[in-house]
Amino acid sequence: MDAEEVFSQTDKIDLLLAINAETVMLHKDELVSGGGIIYDPDDILLKPDNLNREDLMLYPVPLKKTVWEELKEDPIMRNAVALGAAFALLHCDLDLLEEVLKGTFKPAVAESNMKAAKKGYDHVQNNFDDNFEYRLTKIESAGKRKILLSGNEAIGLGALKAGCKFFAGYPMTPTTGLLHFMAENERKMEMLIIQPEGEIAAINMAAGAAFAGVRAMTATSGGGFCLMVEGLGMTGMTETPVVIMVGQRPGPSTRLPTYSAQGDLRFVVHASQGEFPRVVVAPGDVEECFYETMRAFN
């Protein structure tokens, strides 16, 4: 398929790694036409007619047998075999996986996982036609180089560019990545990053830093922002400028952290007691996350 820019995730699945039959039954209708399923034929019996999907590609790979009989390793490593199989189908360079494994695990564990992944990779190449249309291939960019950013990273870069010098945040998906990004750049950018005991402390610390004269920021999700609203009212009363990132996710209470949404916009616009001006910006993609964060500070 032709390469094109990706601005956000979708609800559809191109390739499903199924460790059990329940996974297939739960997600088979989410697969795109021509999508693939990697599964262990010793655990799961799959045929197009019992899936009620004639447009799917099936890739049986002996996951447990490969790990248990060939590699003499713990069956838990069958996911590495499946990952190697996925890399083969997607035309991904296996060296990329090796880099990730070496950076994640101790040397012995990384090596074992890499052997398992190579088995899955070779099995697909030796037993299936090269007919899976969804691929991840390296793009040689002509001219200006591009960078791959998450929304959290783009917001962090925007905050740094805007001169943010204080960030207080309590971990709450999906904004925890911003806390990590800011912490990684704390010394280099001569900032102060604090993970306090909760969201109420975070908004109060950010307000205190801003009152002292530095550009300050905090970040949370809907449930955490609920706790921040009294502090938000205090910043309104004292006319103290603070930037608050609210990472939205669907559903009430603590909600669904693995999905994104925009249902909190009305809440954010009207949050807190009393009447005071506030500016609410809602970026539409990762690039806007960068520029709109600077705009929020300014």
Q: How many angstroms separate the first and last alpha carbons of the chain? A: 42
pLDDT reported for residue 252: 86
Alpha carbon of residue 250 to chain centroid: 16
pLDDT reported for residue 246: 96
C-alpha dist (Å) from residue 131 to 13, 18, 75: 17, 20, 29
pLDDT reported for residue 142: 62
pLDDT (tens digit, 9 = 90+) per residue, 136-193?
877 776 667 778 889 999 999 999 999 999 999 999 999 999 999 999 999 999 999 9
List Cβ<8 Å contacts ≥24 apart for 114-117: 114/80, 115/71, 116/66, 116/67, 116/71, 116/73, 116/77, 116/78, 116/80, 116/81, 116/84, 117/80, 117/81, 117/83, 117/84, 117/87
Residue among 219, 175, 182 nearest 199 (CA): 219
Q: Tokens in use for 11?
A: 């609800």
Q: What is the chain's pLDDT, residue by residue, as a tens digit (298 residues)?
A: 456 777 777 789 999 999 999 999 999 999 999 999 999 999 998 877 778 888 999 999 999 999 999 888 888 899 999 999 999 999 999 999 999 999 999 999 999 999 999 999 999 999 999 999 998 877 776 667 778 889 999 999 999 999 999 999 999 999 999 999 999 999 999 999 999 999 999 999 999 999 999 999 999 999 999 999 999 999 999 999 999 999 998 888 877 887 778 889 999 999 998 899 999 999 988 999 999 999 999 9
Is residue 44 within 8 Å of residue 18, measured between CB atoms? yes
Residue 25, C-beta contacts closer than 8 angstroms, at least 6 positions apart:
none
pLDDT reported for residue 2: 57
Partner residues linked to 194 by β-bridges: 168
pLDDT reported for residue 52: 86
Work out the number of other CB atoms within 10 angstroms of the CB of residue 53: 15
Work out the number of other CB atoms within 10 angstroms of the CB of residue 286: 19
Could you tell me the domains of the chain? 13-127 (3.40.920.10), 151-297 (3.40.50.970)
Count Cβ atoms within 10 A of the Cβ of residue 35 and give its class: 0-12 exposed, 13-18 middle, 19 or more buried: buried
